[in-house]
Amino acid sequence: MFYYRQLTYALLKDQFEINLEIPDGYLIPTVTSRYKYILWVHELLLQVAEYFDAKKSIIGLDVGTGASCIYPLLGSKLFGWHFRASDRCAKLALKNVTANKLENRISLVLVDEDDPPLLKLVDQANRYHFCVCNPPFFNSKEEQESTHLRQTKPLSDNPGKEHEAVTRGGELEFIEKLLQDSLTLKKTIIWYTSLVGKKRSFLSIVKRLKGLREVTTIKWTQFTQGKTTRWAVAWSFYAIYIDEERMQTAPTALPAKRFKSTSEENKEVLKTTQLLLSVASGHKEELLDDVRSIFKEYELKYNLESALLQLFKVEARTCTWSRRARRKKKRLSDFPSEPKGLPPSDFPIFIALFQILRGDDKSLARPLQVTLWITLLRGDFGKFVSFELHFARALEKFGKYKVLNYNVYGRSLTPIKSDLR
């Protein structure tokens, strides 16, 4: 146990610059599994970047943070996230927050075993981006002891205090409480997530979630480390488009380099920009059609992923908006026999999400204001921004839209016209 403790401290210090101190007998977290869970949550957040206010920090909840406070420390160091975390041993967790000088990002709430896990933790006036939870596993001390006896003793044989590992009804009942709280809180939190230790529990939770009409998005994954497999489930009351290809990019090993966490980097992770438009005419389908026609004009591959969310996925394979490409297009229309040049590349220049968030239709204020959230999923950021500027200009050419603001990672570039001309 001595070596395991020292190895954990050294790994956290070396890879993440985290200082940890855990009193004897308390659970020592396995760094790799905690790291994988945080990366998975990060991938989930990338899927919903269009809901975020780029000016605000990402804020998450950790139910049962343990004496280590491991998830808030990792999330904060890696991505600059803010956390509200709870535990029955919150005072010990606070020591680790202080030792890492993260009091401005992580706050702690002391709870009792029977407290509702999320309702006790959230401040309902706020909105949260996600919650994480590694629930106590076992239903009884006897179940815990018999499991540890059956297992071959791994390096990490580390049962922790009884209150850390045992809860009435085991993990299944604990996650059911999370689920019940989520049915009350609904859109207060974008992603509800939990780790699950047993396959039986995992299958039954997924089945339960699938049966709930109000839950509109469910996602799960599996983490394997040596002989140990754990599952994670996520659900949401938002209808979220999941880019499966993107989800698979989550690295599974520890990072080869140290991460520096700054709030700038945090914003970089979610490459979200906003165009605030003033729309002279308020017809529902009009803007959607006009946006579509611009995509056609620039020869972008596009797909209306959700008519309800007015969400497009857009792919650019040729830089059709560059001056050179436009000149070439003109020459081809004047002299159609000219050689057409190279075919489009096999690799996209960028893939992005465009979502139209309409202003309040009921308000009599005219003209209507509309926000376009544009999120770069992957690709060349410079070319992506240059396309956005052309896109904005093309919108203004219709004569019924005026771009009021162009916001990149919370930095306003108003007025847009001077950028375009």
Query: How many residues sit in the footprint of ligand SAM (CB under 6 A)?
Result: 24
For 392, the enclosing helix (H) or strand (E) is helix 381-397
Q: How far apart are CA 236 and CA 182, in angstroms?
A: 9
Q: Does 163 bind ligand SAM (CB under 6 A)?
A: yes
Closest CA to 102 of 79, 123, 122, 77: 77
The strands making up 59-63's β-sheet, listed across from edge to edge, are 106-110, 82-87, 59-63, 128-133, 189-196, 228-236, 217-225
x-or-dash string of contact with ligand SAM, 123-142, rule CB under 6 A: -----------xxx------
Q: Does 268 bind ligand SAM (CB under 6 A)?
A: no
Q: Does 84 bind ligand SAM (CB under 6 A)?
A: no
Largest separation between any pair of C-alpha atoms in the chain = 84
Name the token pair of 393: 């200009």
Q: How far apart are CA 141 and CA 390, in angstroms?
A: 64
Q: How far apart are CA 410 and CA 314, in angstroms?
A: 22
Using CB under 6 A, pick the residue from 43, 50, 164, 243 that binds ligand SAM.
164
Q: Does 90 bind ligand SAM (CB under 6 A)?
A: no
SS3 52: coil
Site for ligand SAM in 19-58 (CB under 6 A): 27, 29, 34
Q: Does 113 bind ligand SAM (CB under 6 A)?
A: yes
List 217's β-bridge partners, or say none.
236
Minimum distance between the CB of residue 160 and ligand SAM, rounded to whole angstroms?
7
Name the token pair of 150: 């059956």
Residue type, 351: I
* CA within 13 Å, CB half, 216: 11
Comparing CB distances to ligand SAM, the nearer of 87 and 305 is: 87
Minimum distance between the CB of residue 115 and ligand SAM, rounded to whole angstroms?
5
Residue facing ligand SAM at closest CB distance = 64
Q: Does 68 bind ligand SAM (CB under 6 A)?
A: yes
Comparing CB distances to ligand SAM, the nearer of 161 and 358 is: 161
| Stretch near ligand SAM under the rule CB under 6 A, chosen from 1-9, 113-121, 198-206, 327-335 | 113-121
Minimum distance between the CB of residue 398 and ligand SAM, rounded to whole angstroms?
52
Q: Does 305 bind ligand SAM (CB under 6 A)?
A: no
Q: How far apart are CA 346 and CA 357, in angstroms?
A: 32
Minimum distance between the CB of residue 256 and ligand SAM, rounded to whole angstroms?
24
Using CB under 6 A, pick the residue from 31, 70, 189, 309 that binds ligand SAM.
70
Minimum distance between the CB of residue 191 and ligand SAM, rounded to whole angstroms?
17
Comparing CB distances to ligand SAM, the nearer of 22 and 316 is: 22
Using CB under 6 A, pick the residue from 64, 80, 170, 348 that binds ligand SAM.
64
Q: DSSP of 171-240, one letter per residue? A: HHHHHHHHHHHHHHHGGGEEEEEEEES-HHHHHHHHHHHHT-TT--EEEEEEEEETTEEEEEEEEESS--
Binding site for ligand SAM (CB under 6 A): 27, 29, 34, 63-66, 68, 70-71, 86-89, 111, 113, 115, 117, 134-136, 163-164, 167
